[in-house]
Amino acid sequence: MAEIQLGVIEARFADMIWEREPVTSSELVKLAAKEFTWKRTTTHTVLKRLCEKGLFKNQKGNVTSLLSRSQFYSMQSRKFVEDAFDGSLPDFIAAFTKNSKLTSEEAERIREMIDKAAESE
Condensed to tens digits (0 to 9), the pLDDT of residues 38-76 reads: 999 999 999 999 999 999 999 999 999 999 999 999 999
pLDDT given for residue 3 in this prediction = 75
77's CB contacts (< 8 A; 6+ apart) are none
8-67 to CATH, choices 1.10.10.10, 3.40.50.300, 3.40.50.2300, 3.20.20.120: 1.10.10.10
pLDDT given for residue 118 in this prediction = 86
- b/e per residue, 12-26, with b = 16+ CB within 10 A? ebbebbbeeeebebe
Domain boundaries, the chain: 8-67, 70-119
Name the DSSP class of 13: H
Q: 68 by DSSP, 3-state: which?
A: coil
pLDDT given for residue 86 in this prediction = 94
CB of 24 closer than 8 Å to CB of 63: yes
When pLDDT is averaged across residues 17-46 and rounded to a whole number, the result is 97
Alpha helix segments (H runs only) across 1-121: 8-20, 25-36, 40-52, 69-85, 89-97, 104-119
